[in-house]
Amino acid sequence: MKLKLTPLNILSAGLITAIVYLFIFPDEYGWRKLGAISLGLMFACTVISDIIFRFFFKDLKRIWIVEVVFLIFAAVLIIILQKI
């Protein structure tokens, strides 16, 4: 089995690290656990998106391009929605 590293895999690893950090170092009010839930949902979305992109695109270079564009689009959309 070949391991194909993609931008969404890297983001998923960062999200898992953040979730573990929030559970290891909790605060006194429990807000970090609430944040870990939202990060868990983001993790699930990145894994599902990565599987979908791998299904449609077989070439690793094309997967990288599509996933980077997807991440930039998501970031711009979040910024636009925060301004409203």
What's the token pair of residue 9?
């895999």
The tens digit of pLDDT for each residue in 16-74 reads 999 999 888 878 887 888 888 999 999 999 999 999 999 999 899 999 999 999 999 99
Q: How far apart are CA 22 and CA 1, in angstroms?
A: 33
Alpha-carbon distances, residue 38 vs 3, 31, 42 (angstroms): 28, 11, 6
Cα gap 20→48, rounded to integer Å: 20
Residue 12 has pLDDT above 70, yes or no: yes
**Which of 35-40's residues contact partners 24+ apart within 8 Å by CB, and which partners?**
39/15, 40/15
